Amino acid sequence: MSRERLYLFDTTLRDGAQTRGVDFSVEDKRAIAIALDKIGVDYVEGGWPGANPTDTAFFADPPALKRATFTAFGMTRRPGRSADNDPGLAGLTGTAAPAICIVGKSWDFQVKVALDIPLHENVEIIGDSIAHLAAKGREAMLDAEHFFDGYKANPAYAMECIRAAWAAGAKWVVLCDTNGGTLPHEVERIVADVADAVPGIRLGIHAHNDTENAVANSLAAIRSGARQVQGTLNGLGERCGNANLVSLIGTLCLKPDFAERFETGITQDGLRHLTQTSRLLDEILNRSPNRHAAYVGQAAFAHKGGLHVSAVLKDPRTYEHVPPESVGNERHVLISDQAGKSNILARLHDVGIDLDPKDPRVDRLLETVKEREYLGYSYDGADASFELMARRVLGQIPDYFFVESFKVLVERRYNARRELVTVSEAIVRTQVDGNKLLSVGEGNGPVNALDAALRQDLGKYQRYIEDLELVDFKVRILQLGNAAAVSGPASVDRWQAGTGAVTRVLIENADGQGNRWFTVGVSPNIVEASFQALTDAIVYKLYRDGAPAGTGPAE
Ligand SMILES: CC(=O)SCCNC(=O)CCNC(=O)[C@H](O)C(C)(C)COP(=O)(O)OP(=O)(O)OC[C@H]1O[C@@H](n2cnc3c(N)ncnc32)[C@H](O)[C@@H]1OP(=O)(O)O
Ligand SMILES: CC(=O)C(=O)O
């Protein structure tokens, strides 16, 4: 059975640019447009030429797209002007964009309040504007703003608006849930009514996420006859955002009810790049990806509960709705106090340690993890510290170096230019093969100074850590109730009374070969917690790079 074509329209660069805190440069827009084109999106709406210098410059030198239709966005002609004399429309037709999407009002209330013109005039404006674009040879589309609210308030008028666009030559009439308050059952009914009332009309859906239903509303519209679906990468957009195109692509391509009925432009390879495309956007916006994003989040295929892990190891379909690799994501098995033996075994396997489930060391490891999590450690995000902890229990981590003591000073003073500065200095005394070393490091904060001192001189290990870099540092204050506070590495396993806050430090490290790893430290003292995470980072690198063992501290 042949499938119907469903068109995907991306508005990341237009509605997504209306997100609070998002400000794309021309080069950002180009990179995103090319990534969308690569995965097989049909339309890339680049912005509103004429509205701001970035969009004007972007349209003046459009990206070379292979598959997608580059689309300009604007609004219908202004009241009191002819379409031929409207500067806004001229700005759109002055670009080379083969498709132009204009927003027009379809809610009588909006026409009265926002435009302040008679209802019939707005209908004429829509018709004229679309006819003008079509006459210029462009693929004209109407974004029927507030269509669902308009239809609920005055269905006859809302229909009159979209009939005008269709009759004037619109290739698509996109029904917008502009305020995002419409629910899926309403969308399903209203889109079906419209499709029945105007046979042959090509409908699109543009849903906002104000009730967290934008994706559901888009799917409902498709079920009722919409054949173009608009959305944005990672759900960017005005207020609560738009329908998340990433989630929509996953569902449309992988769920049989849609995938068997509709063909999209998304290629197999494009689908496998979905995770990468979603993360590229976050990278460009310089923000952390949402770990819990459907399909593409780091946690989307992360298994934590013992029952889950045990079953996933037998067959991943027990707790996964689609295979992670189908969208370019991967499976993670997390270690935590929810863990059973299966988690530990799976995680050990990941780091190259295969133990028999009956091996008593597995129980010891499980106990150690649970105790340490109780103290405030978290291995969910700190793979390297997990591996070190496991290998230490198994006696596989040699003594490399020994830190006798460290001291950190923070000084706030006026410098020679009478500027107020805060400087930090750290002094670390270490031993390598019985040789005593003293290093001093300076930094813009105590952790930075400690990191500099630790890595300044590690004797024969120095060459292994030359390219080590601290790339991210996160601090979390934990209230452990009646659990213990810990005071240092030697006392980590010693329980203490008290209810003090404990600091958990998570450090991301990188080296010159492109490896990245996370380590964790816990203490009531932030510097001590950082010290643990920093030393774990160094030990992990020494172990992984096969550095020779040391002889331990001198007596
Ligand atoms: C639902 C949506 O998200 S649509 C996209 C919204 N996106 C944006 O607004 C971002 C880009 N916008 C802009 O940069 C500016 O608003 C511009 C350049 C387009 C217009 O700027 P200005 O001319 O200063 O107008 P301003 O933004 O203050 O007000 C909008 C005007 O457009 C009119 N207008 C609103 N919708 C329409 C429409 N569909 N057709 C014609 N005119 C419209 C309003 O009545 C108002 O007119 P008024 O100034 O006579 O009261
Ligand atoms: C056009 C648009 O962005 C909206 O109506 O929400």
Residue of 164, 178, 170 whose CA lies nearest to 207: 178
Q: How many CA atoms lie within 13 A of 300 on its CB side?
A: 21
- The per-residue pLDDT for range 516-546, each reduced to its tens digit, is 898 999 999 999 999 999 999 999 999 999 9
Q: Are strands 402-414 and 420-432 parallel, antiparallel or unpaired?
A: antiparallel
Nearest CA to ligand 2 atom 3: 15
Using CA atoms of 487, 493, 499, 505 in order, give the dihedral in degrees to the nearest 10.
60
pLDDT range class, residue 555, cuts 50, 70, 90: low
Concatenated DSSP letters of 260-313: TTEE-S--HHHHHTHHHHHHHHHHHHT----TT-TTTSTTTTEE-SHHHHHHHH
Which ligand is the nearest neighbour of the Cα of 18?
A: 1
Residue 431 covered by a domain? no
Average pLDDT over residues 69-95: 98
Domain shared by 46 and 102, yes or no: yes
Q: Which of 75, 86, 113, 148 has most ligand 1 atoms within 8 Å of its beta carbon, as the pocket-test mutant? A: 75
The H or E element that residue 39 is part of is helix 26-39
Q: Is the pLDDT of residue 334 over 90?
A: no
Q: In this structure, what CATH number is given to the domain that contains residue 115? A: 3.20.20.70
Residue of 14, 1, 5 whose CA lies nearest to 40: 5
Domain shared by 120 and 61, yes or no: yes
Domain shared by 173 and 85, yes or no: yes
Which ligand is the nearest neighbour of the Cα of 113?
A: 1
pLDDT range class, residue 486, cuts 50, 70, 90: very low
Q: Do the beta carbons of residue 527 and residue 446 sit within 8 Å? A: yes
Q: Do the beta carbons of residue 195 and residue 225 sit within 8 Å? A: yes
Token pair belonging to 302? 């992360």
Residue 414 covered by a domain? no
Q: Do the beta carbons of residue 400 and residue 539 sit within 8 Å? A: yes
User: Is the C-beta atom of 387 inside 6 A of ligand 1?
Assistant: no
pLDDT range class, residue 384, cuts 50, 70, 90: very high
Q: Is the pLDDT of residue 487 over 70?
A: no
Secondary structure, 3-state, 462-515: HHHHCCCEEEEEEEEEEECCCCCCCCCHHHCCCCCCCCCEEEEEEEEEECCCCC
Q: Is the pLDDT of residue 499 over 90?
A: no
pLDDT range class, residue 443, cuts 50, 70, 90: very high
Question: What single letter denotes the amino acid at residue 59?
Answer: F
Domain shared by 103 and 225, yes or no: yes
Identify the burial level of 405 via C-beta atoms within 10 angstroms of its C-beta, where 0-12 means exposed, 13-18 middle and 19 or more buried. exposed
Which ligand is the nearest neighbour of the Cα of 178?
A: 2
Q: Is the pLDDT of residue 66 over 60?
A: yes
Question: What single letter denotes the amino acid at residue 16?
Answer: G
Task: Specify the range with the lowest mean pLDDT, choosing from 34-43, 139-148, 238-247, 497-506.
Answer: 497-506
Average pLDDT over residues 85-102: 98
User: Is the C-beta atom of 145 inside 6 A of ligand 2?
Assistant: yes
Query: pLDDT value at position 289?
Result: 85
User: Is the C-beta atom of 178 inside 6 A of ligand 1?
Assistant: yes
Query: pLDDT value at position 477?
Result: 83
Query: pLDDT value at position 347?
Result: 80
Domain count, the chain: 2
Residue 97 covered by a domain? yes
Query: pLDDT value at position 492?
Result: 32
pLDDT range class, residue 491, cuts 50, 70, 90: very low
Query: pLDDT value at position 343?
Result: 76
Token pair belonging to 439? 């290093």
| DSSP state letter for 327 | G
Q: Of all atoms in ligand 1, which is nearest to the CA of residue 17?
A: 10
Average pLDDT over residues 109-119: 98
- Domain boundary residue among 383, 400, 430? 383
Domain shared by 312 and 206, yes or no: no
Residue 25 covered by a domain? yes
Q: Do the beta carbons of residue 208 and residue 183 sit within 8 Å? A: no
- Domain boundary residue among 332, 352, 383? 383
- Number of continuous H segments (helices) and E segments (strands) in the chain: 20, 18
Tell me which residue range forms the domain holding 237. Answer: 4-266
Domain shared by 258 and 306, yes or no: no
List, in order, residues 6 or more apart from 225 with CB less than 8 Å away: 191, 192, 194, 195, 203
User: Is the C-beta atom of 101 inside 6 A of ligand 1?
Assistant: no
Domain shared by 200 and 341, yes or no: no
Domain shared by 259 and 318, yes or no: no
User: Is the C-beta atom of 45 inside 6 A of ligand 2?
Assistant: no
Domain shared by 175 and 125, yes or no: yes
- Domain boundary residue among 365, 383, 401? 383
Residue 436 covered by a domain? no
**Backbone dihedral region for residue 16 (phi beyond 0: left; psi -120 to 50: alpha; all else: beta):** alpha
pLDDT range class, residue 342, cuts 50, 70, 90: confident
- The per-residue pLDDT for range 229-280, each reduced to its tens digit, is 999 999 999 999 999 999 999 999 999 999 999 999 999 999 999 999 999 8
Domain shared by 360 and 260, yes or no: no
User: Is the C-beta atom of 530 inside 6 A of ligand 1?
Assistant: no
Task: Specify the range with the lowest mean pLDDT, choosing from 100-104, 193-197, 235-239, 298-302.
Answer: 298-302
Q: Do the beta carbons of residue 517 and residue 379 sit within 8 Å? A: no
List, in order, residues 6 or more apart from 475 with CB less than 8 Å away: 503, 504, 505, 506, 526, 529
Nearest CA to ligand 1 atom 27: 51
Residue 462 covered by a domain? no
- The per-residue pLDDT for range 455-484, each reduced to its tens digit, is 999 999 999 999 999 988 888 887 654 333
List, in order, residues 6 or more apart from 499 with CB less than 8 Å away: 479, 480, 481, 482
Residue 285 covered by a domain? no
pLDDT range class, residue 181, cuts 50, 70, 90: very high
Domain shared by 78 and 183, yes or no: yes
Question: What single letter denotes the amino acid at residue 75?
Answer: M
- Of residues 351 and 318, the one with the higher pLDDT is 318
Average pLDDT over residues 384-391: 94
Which ligand is the nearest neighbour of the Cα of 104?
A: 1
Q: Are strands 516-523 and 501-510 parallel, antiparallel or unpaired?
A: antiparallel
Q: Ligand 1 centre and the CA of 91: distance in Å?
A: 14
Domain shared by 110 and 170, yes or no: yes
* pLDDT, averaged across the chain: 92
User: Is the C-beta atom of 208 inside 6 A of ligand 2?
Assistant: yes
C-alpha separations of 380 from 298, 387, 532 in Å: 11, 12, 17
pLDDT range class, residue 500, cuts 50, 70, 90: low
User: Is the C-beta atom of 14 inside 6 A of ligand 2?
Assistant: no
List, in order, residues 6 or more apart from 63 with CB less than 8 Å away: 29, 30, 33, 34, 37, 44, 46, 70
Task: Specify the range with the lowest mean pLDDT, choosing from 168-182, 191-205, 346-360, 432-446.
Answer: 346-360
Residue 440 covered by a domain? no
Q: Which of 9, 76, 142, 143 has most ligand 2 atoms within 8 Å of its beta carbon, as the pocket-test mutant? A: 143
Which ligand is the nearest neighbour of the Cα of 146?
A: 2
User: Is the C-beta atom of 338 inside 6 A of ligand 1?
Assistant: no
